[in-house]
Structure 1
Amino acid sequence: PQPQLRSNTVMPAFLRDLRRRSKSSFKRQKSDGTDSSKSNGINGNGNGSAPSMPTTKSSSTLNSSYGGATPPISNSQSSCNLQTMNGVAPPPPIPQSRPPISASSSNRHSVSGMSGLGSPSLKSSIPPSPYAPRILSIADNTWVYQKVLSVYGTIADPATQALEGSLTVSRLDDQLPPTYWPVSASHFKALIYLIPGPNRLRFDFTSPKLANSNTSNPIHSSYLTLHMLPPLCAPPLQLVILLAKDSPATFDAVPARIEQEGNGLGTAIQKFRMAAYLWQAFTSEQMFRNKLGRRVFRMEEEWITGTANYRDRELGTMRSEAKVHVVRCSKTVAELRDLDLAQQNPKASRGGDLFGIASEAVKDHFKPVPGQKQYVSVLLLDSHWDKSSQTITGHAALGGGGGEIQLAIFGSHALQTYPSSIEEVVPAFSDCTPTDTNYVANDCNESGSAWEAANIGIGAHMHETGHLFGCPHQENGVMLRDYVTLNRSFTTREPYSTRTKSKGGLVLAKDECAWHRLDCLRFKGHPCFALPTDPPRPSDESVQVWLVDGGNVVVTAASGVAYLEIYTEGDDLCHVWQEFGDGNGNGPIQKQVILTEQELRGRLPADRRKSKLKLSIKSVAGGSHEVEDFSLLTSKASRLKLSNGQLAFRSSKLGFSQMEGSQSEETIFSSAIQQTKLMTCVRVFHGFALDGIEFIYEDSTSQLFGKRGGQSGGSEFNLGTCTIFHILVGHPIADFVRYPTRRVHYRVLCQERAVVGWHSHYDESWEKVTCVWECHWRLGKFSGTSERVQHCWSHWKLWAVGRWIWYSYYAVSDA
């Protein structure tokens, strides 16, 4: 037999001790809590005393994903993080309860503040410093869904100690370099670049007024674990830099900037990407403050050399970063810079043409298929400050769109002042360099210094992106012009302002600009803001409005009624609104809401209560329905007594009957008067546009709405138990591939269940409207208007007969 060398070899005592120490320090522990150091004859602290706790249960906020929640102020270390940094696999999950850690006589962990490979392997027994950073904006172990996160917090108690210093934010795995943020009057704000998965972070505070601040071993530390999950369930916001076909791909900048960082396409991409990260961080924090979760849009990404920090650029580290598409349009630089296209030129006759040029170029680049929306924010790189005319050419600040493209455009005239990385954010928003109008623009005379120009450029472009997402102008916030203080969301001190002639000072959360509450509610229902934890998005986003007995109005929505906006006569902005449920999307969804005129008027200021009321009602899924005159809807004009004595109620109008040339026409169904009469068929007369609809009964009688025209014989649909037919105005019935003209698309589910109609505006955007009634309602009347001067627009009203009894809701899928 082979000799057993291990049994015949005598190991020196000091080697046995070293071997035991190595095992107890680095050997992976079993998940059942067995202390492997006991089997080696020593405890987990590396000394001869009895262990106070099993080694496998050592934990802290550094590895808080494996344990219970701990406030961010706790000063702690975890052996599992040292193991991770040294290439050793971390221990398996530990129990939720955290046993107390007793003081140890060993001096192995006396250096409590050290980070990196030399940090202690076990949780320190030293109590946390009262000057350890306290993160107020987010809790430990929170899940977030964006690349860059904004956080804020305090040092000690700002009311009693106004400390100045520096905050260092570092990752325990060293995948990203540390970043440094100023602390002003014990307040700090920071941006954190996140990687998918757990992000274990350390926050160190240093100040010349505190002990140990001038050493490499800061003791004022706290820890935070954040989990990042990319929200791949939502359509992305696409970032595009648009160039003329002969563009040199440069942007306006002063000579010193050009010498320092360049003004070429690569620099533009880095700056635009960083601006989008700031939009994302700002919006997520605003949604959270509005109690709507850390909900934010995502951006398409690509695998490239990282640009968000200096180290990635120097080392060529590859990362998944927001993709910036570079698109060339069909126009030349001279054509784009034509003064007749400049939005800020009061004499421009084509001031909105840049939007169409950008839309055409973007559509040609992305080539969206029918039904696929693209959300695109465009930077016009060929914008140029024309000193002779004192005009920014090649620039327009616009947002909106429809059909397959939702678009925002903005010029690059302030791009030189944007940060290109996280390290540059605070310097960019603190740079008081005067704007040199020999080279660059002072936009709206609100960009007298570099930091103010960055506010205008980044903030105004975010404003237009808000329009892209469907936000109108608001009474305050980003969708007014509050973005001129965007810097306050990322810095704690504001420099001297040339705009306000104020010296600035400390800026806290209450001083920051914000998305208006109504903007946040819109984002909540927008598909771009969907989160992986959301339930499946309802296919029916429509809202229906019904008049019922007693002058009440019933609002129904299959996805739920979210909120309504109340406008009085002359209002351009919404000042009064009503939210349903708990207002935050967490309470019970209300699929039916009853409104009374008295209640609505009671929400208005006393001097506006007798004014005309207009409502804009929003569904949980993002649908919208407008009631132009609520009093008219509840008046006698909305009631009709039929020849058999029954009472019929008009619903809210759908479509565009207000257009010039529209002619009103009504058809009361015979089946509504005679209960025994059965409608069996619907014949649609159409060609390029809808001409008429004929309703045919089983006794061979019929009623014609409109006229017979178009294709001979029209298209016939027999009504069975569950028959659906489509009417597409503007194209043949069967053509669902592409609709190059304005159109109205109707879908009807018969047998007293639901009628669903789609109509589009001039910008080719689709609006889906659903009219729903239950078995105690019958379709009693079809009325509407149409005009065919240039395009055919059809306007329908649904009449219902009978007693209002609501049992359930029907959402009709797109067949």
Structure 2
Amino acid sequence: MFTFDNIQDDEEVFQRCVLISGRCEAVAEGSDTFIQVETRSNGDEISFPTQKWPMSHGWFKALVILTPGVNSIRFMSEGDESQSTVTPPLHLAILVAKDSPLMIDCPARKFGALSGAHSSIDAAIAKFRLTAYMWQALTAEEMRSNGLGRRSFRLEEEWAPDTLSQLTQRQLTMDSTAKVHLIRADKTVAELRNAQFAQQNPRAAKPNELHEIFSHSLKGYGAPFNSEARPVVAGLILDSTYDAQNDLILAHAALGAHNPNGLSLGMIGSHLTYSWPRFLEEVPDCLLDLAPPGDQVGNDNGECASMWEACSVGQGAFLHEVGHAFSAPHTTGIMARGYSKDWPKCFLAKTAFSVHAETEGIEPVTPTTHNNCRWDIRDMLRFVNLPHFNHPHDTVLNKNCPSIEIQDEDDISTMVISCEAGIVRVLFNGMAEGGPSVTNLQTSVRYTVEELQHRFDMQEPLEIEVLSRNGKHTTRDVARLIANISSIRVPGTGIRLQKQSVMSREAPTNSWQWAVMFKKRGLDGTLVSASKIDLRVGCILDGAIVHYKDGTQIPCGPRGQNGKDLNMGGHQAKKIAIPKNVDVVKVAVGTGGSELRGLRIWLSNGKAMGALNKRESDSVEILVPGSNQRIIGFYGASNLDSWQSCHEFGIVTAPKDQSIPDSVYDMPELQNNSDSGAGRPSKKRKIDRVESETEDEATSEDEDNGYDDDSDIDDNED
């Protein structure tokens, strides 16, 4: 408990720096420690970096920096675990060419030929600032209505003339308001308007070039856009224009990229900015205006037949790209262009006639009105686990993906779903179950196989998707899970090994079933541990090769006769060492079409290796051991026709808390032998060289630890 000598709650002061003194009664006599001082303004926004001041016998003095307005000052004794961290903001930036006229496209309807009211750089800044606050409000309401609390990103703010209300323009009103950075590019207007950079040009040679130029200009500007600060930026290209002769919008690209270790940018051109409101008083008019924009401005995506539709597409598409910058892929709602028709429903109690779709407006708009301008729950879960959406009371969640496995429980096969961070939603073929939910988290959900077989036709595709509170999700094919019952009883014991795998959509008619453990019998009968794993990835997944300390190796794929195993390809092949007391803890498999694309594994020491080959329509499936399980080997199946690619790759797991008998490594179903699995122990294979490194000397080759565990989107998405 703190007592203060020279200040009281709700006291008004008129200087920025205040000296405060007092005592922390919880500190024992004679002990010397520190206090930490945290200053917040604007609600939960930390307005000055947390400071540390020394205490002596519980007494302290501290200089506290304030900001205009209401300040909340928090004192914490050293070691107080409830202290919070600074929440980073969304930055707003406008890119201007080095010879820019500082004007935007503006039709006659908006007095484009008569004044700069809607076309000047000041108008663009005001429109951008108000739009960002609209994004913030929409996102907070979406979070609240989905049980995640009234949370949103905060905006970088500064003490500056406030432009949010038309009334404040009559006299200068200073306030803490969103800061808009002007970023000068090293390109001319003509260079930015190069048709080869125009994203909507089907023959553009460099449709991503504007994103590169914007990113380069931000980094050249310096703080707060340094890569090490990991900024997230909403970027507007000022010098966009409509080329009526070629029916092409120039200096425009709608692109967003999330980089967890550097600069994340969601950007768009300014070609629709004329239709945005400058002030709060203009929001209703801009979202109900049926007037046509005219022929001198671009009709983006053919959806901008009226002023309100141009406003919806412009503001909504920009938020879509900011969503990418905040890590959202193409899901549903806002991330599937749901904003173009329904944007006004988020802000008004009625909507206007759609000139583009020729549909009547809706009156009134109520909470039950259909609205596709929503954040997908998957996206919101991603967002709330970013520091930009932190609340002071948030706790750190376990980062593991949900696990889905079939277990035998008292001779009843059960699909067990588990996640320590809490399961938010379970969906079968996209349809959500009644529970769990955001407000009713569960760490474990169970379905008996009999129940699933009764509810669903297992001859038809059945996909289960599990979302967890930490923003992760797992998707599996239920029919394949059940068909490949993932339980192996170890003879003479009560131990059961578990199996889970990823399979291609189509299985070949001629395949090789294999299993390779991380231990094997040596020539002298003793067990030999794996020393490294060679991940064989080319254009698709060929398989893997497990190397052992005695110099032998076993392929995760077809065996050859007389010790002559088939060669695996893989121009992206990489090896990762398995040091002593280090386990494989996670496996990711890239899938696409009828093939497995790639493979990546993680070790308990934090190292990771492999390539996933994820293309636009592909996916990545994560295999993690169930609770109280550890990975002891791989299993799968490979195509024996044409090239020997994998069409199934999985993990074998064993209980952590039980000693595994040596007999496990003699079980026929856990062997990969050249006689197609007759059960003989593996023999010493003929190899090109003998690996001589010891466990302590082993190192990963071509190590690459920069992979984002959850990255399932391209760097740039339109």
Q: Give the shorter-chain TM-score range.
A: 0.5 to 0.7
Cα shift at 1:144 = 7.5
Q: What amino acid does structure 2 have at the position aligned with 1:631?
A: A
> Does 1:624 pair with 2:476?
no
Residue 653 of structure 2 is matched in structure 1 by: 800
Q: What amino acid does structure 1 have at the position aligned with 2:421?
A: S
Q: Distance in 2 between matches of 1:768 and 1:195?
A: 50
> Does 1:694 pair with 2:547?
yes
Cα shift at 1:428 = 2.5
| CA distance 1:797–1:243, shift in 2 (3 Å) | farther
> Does 1:444 pair with 2:301?
yes
> For the Cα contact (< 8 Å) 1:644–1:673, is it kept in 2?
no
Q: Distance in 2 between matches of 1:579 and 1:470?
A: 28
> Does 1:242 pair with 2:90?
no
Residue 594 of structure 1 is matched in structure 2 by: 446
> For the Cα contact (< 8 Å) 2:328–2:379, is it kept in 1?
no
| CA distance 1:500–1:642, shift in 2 (3 Å) | same
Cα shift at 1:685 = 7.0
1:146-203 superposed Cα distances (whole Å, 9 cap, x missing partner)? 99xxxxxxxxxxxxxxxxxxxxxxxxxxxxxxxxxxxxxxxxxxxxxx98679xxxxx
Q: Which has the larger radius of gyration?
A: 1
Q: Secondary structure of the residue that 2:253 maps to in structure 1?
A: coil
1:3-59 superposed Cα distances (whole Å, 9 cap, x missing partner)? xxxxxxxxxxxxxxxxxxxxxxxxxxxxxxxxxxxxxxxxxxxxxxxxxxxxxxxxx
> Does 1:749 pair with 2:604?
yes
Identity %: 24
Residue 499 of structure 2 is matched in structure 1 by: 650
Residue 278 of structure 1 is matched in structure 2 by: 134
**Pick aligned residue for 2:405 from 529, 546, 571:** 546
Q: What amino acid does structure 1 have at the position aligned with 2:252?
A: H
Q: Distance in 2 between matches of 1:361 and 1:743?
A: 35
TM-score by length of 1: 0.54
| CA distance 1:684–1:650, shift in 2 (3 Å) | closer
Residue 246 of structure 2 is matched in structure 1 by: 389
Q: Distance in 1 between matches of 2:403 and 2:316?
A: 36
**Pick aligned residue for 2:462 from 613, 617, 626:** 613
| CA distance 1:679–1:485, shift in 2 (3 Å) | same
| CA distance 1:516–1:310, shift in 2 (3 Å) | closer
> Does 1:416 pair with 2:277?
no
Q: What amino acid does structure 2 have at the position aligned with 1:414?
A: L
Q: Secondary structure of the residue that 1:420 maps to in structure 2?
A: coil
Q: Distance in 2 between matches of 1:362 and 1:617?
A: 38
1:386-785 equivalent positions in 2, closer than 5 A: 386-402=243-259, 404=261, 405-438=263-296, 440-473=297-330, 479-501=336-358, 504=361, 506-509=363-366, 510-511=368-369, 513=371, 514-515=373-374, 518-519=377-378, 521-522=380-381, 525-527=384-386, 530-549=389-408, 550-567=412-429, 575-578=430-433, 580-581=435-436, 583-584=437-438, 586-587=439-440, 589-595=441-447, 610-627=459-476, 629-636=477-484, 648-653=497-502, 666-670=515-519, 682-683=531-532, 694-696=547-549, 703=553, 718-720=579-581, 723=582, 746-749=601-604, 771-773=624-626, 779-781=632-634
Residue 222 of structure 1 is matched in structure 2 by: none
Q: Distance in 2 between matches of 1:245 and 1:705?
A: 59
1:698-732 superposed Cα distances (whole Å, 9 cap, x missing partner)? xx68655689999xxx9866424xx5799999xxx
| CA distance 1:773–1:686, shift in 2 (3 Å) | closer
Q: Distance in 1 between matches of 2:551 and 2:622?
A: 30
Q: Secondary structure of the residue that 1:559 maps to in structure 2?
A: strand
> For the Cα contact (< 8 Å) 2:519–2:529, is it kept in 1?
no
Q: Secondary structure of the residue that 2:135 maps to in structure 1?
A: helix
1:765-797 superposed Cα distances (whole Å, 9 cap, x missing partner)? 9999573456676624477999xxxxxx99963
Q: What amino acid does structure 1 have at the position aligned with 2:93?
A: V
> For the Cα contact (< 8 Å) 2:518–2:529, is it kept in 1?
no
> For the Cα contact (< 8 Å) 2:405–2:415, is it kept in 1?
yes
Q: Distance in 1 between matches of 2:267 and 2:319?
A: 10
> For the Cα contact (< 8 Å) 1:414–1:457, is it kept in 2?
yes
> For the Cα contact (< 8 Å) 2:193–2:250, is it kept in 1?
yes
Q: What amino acid does structure 2 have at the position aligned with 1:415?
A: T
Cα shift at 1:284 = 1.5
> Does 1:376 pair with 2:229?
no
> For the Cα contact (< 8 Å) 2:426–2:466, is it kept in 1?
yes
Q: Secondary structure of the residue that 1:457 maps to in structure 2?
A: helix
Q: Distance in 1 between matches of 2:377 and 2:268?
A: 24
Residue 108 of structure 1 is matched in structure 2 by: none
Cα shift at 1:415 = 0.3
Q: Secondary structure of the residue that 2:232 maps to in structure 1?
A: strand
Q: Distance in 1 between matches of 2:193 and 2:488?
A: 59
> For the Cα contact (< 8 Å) 1:473–1:480, is it kept in 2?
no
| CA distance 1:769–1:631, shift in 2 (3 Å) | closer
Q: What amino acid does structure 1 have at the position aligned with 2:198?
A: A
> For the Cα contact (< 8 Å) 1:759–1:768, is it kept in 2?
no
Q: Distance in 2 between matches of 1:724 and 1:669?
A: 9
Q: Distance in 1 between matches of 2:638 and 2:217?
A: 37
> For the Cα contact (< 8 Å) 1:755–1:770, is it kept in 2?
no
Q: What amino acid does structure 2 have at the position aligned with 1:544?
A: S
1:152-163 equivalent positions in 2, closer than 5 A: none
Residue 289 of structure 1 is matched in structure 2 by: 145
Residue 137 of structure 1 is matched in structure 2 by: none
Q: Distance in 1 between matches of 2:242 and 2:288?
A: 24
Using CA pairs under 8 Å that are at least 6 residues apart, name the structure with larger relative contact order, 1 or 2: 2
Residue 102 of structure 1 is matched in structure 2 by: none
Cα shift at 1:274 = 0.9
Q: Secondary structure of the residue that 2:420 maps to in structure 1?
A: coil
Q: Distance in 1 between matches of 2:521 and 2:435?
A: 35
| CA distance 1:420–1:395, shift in 2 (3 Å) | same
Q: Distance in 1 between matches of 2:475 and 2:520?
A: 30
Q: What amino acid does structure 2 have at the position aligned with 1:325?
A: H
> For the Cα contact (< 8 Å) 1:727–1:744, is it kept in 2?
no
Q: Distance in 1 between matches of 2:158 and 2:452?
A: 49
Q: Distance in 1 between matches of 2:607 and 2:403?
A: 11
> For the Cα contact (< 8 Å) 1:235–1:527, is it kept in 2?
no
RMSD (CA atoms): 5.4
> For the Cα contact (< 8 Å) 1:290–1:517, is it kept in 2?
no
Where in structure 2 are there 5+ consecutive unaligned residues? Answer: 1-8, 13-41, 47-67, 73-83, 557-566, 589-596, 640-645, 659-708, 710-718
Q: Secondary structure of the residue that 2:153 maps to in structure 1?
A: coil
| CA distance 1:758–1:347, shift in 2 (3 Å) | closer
Q: Distance in 2 between matches of 1:745 and 1:770?
A: 10
Cα shift at 1:457 = 1.0
> For the Cα contact (< 8 Å) 2:331–2:376, is it kept in 1?
no
| CA distance 1:311–1:667, shift in 2 (3 Å) | same
Residue 6 of structure 2 is matched in structure 1 by: none
> For the Cα contact (< 8 Å) 1:341–1:352, is it kept in 2?
yes
Cα shift at 1:434 = 2.8
Q: What amino acid does structure 1 have at the position aligned with 2:95?
A: L
Count residues in correspondence.
545
| CA distance 1:394–1:566, shift in 2 (3 Å) | farther
> For the Cα contact (< 8 Å) 1:780–1:799, is it kept in 2?
yes
Q: Distance in 1 between matches of 2:156 and 2:44?
A: 13
| CA distance 1:603–1:637, shift in 2 (3 Å) | closer
Cα shift at 1:245 = 4.9
Where in structure 1 are there 5+ consecutive unaligned residues? Answer: 1-65, 67-79, 85-142, 148-193, 199-230, 568-574, 730-741, 787-792, 806-813
> Does 1:267 pair with 2:126?
no
| CA distance 1:342–1:612, shift in 2 (3 Å) | same
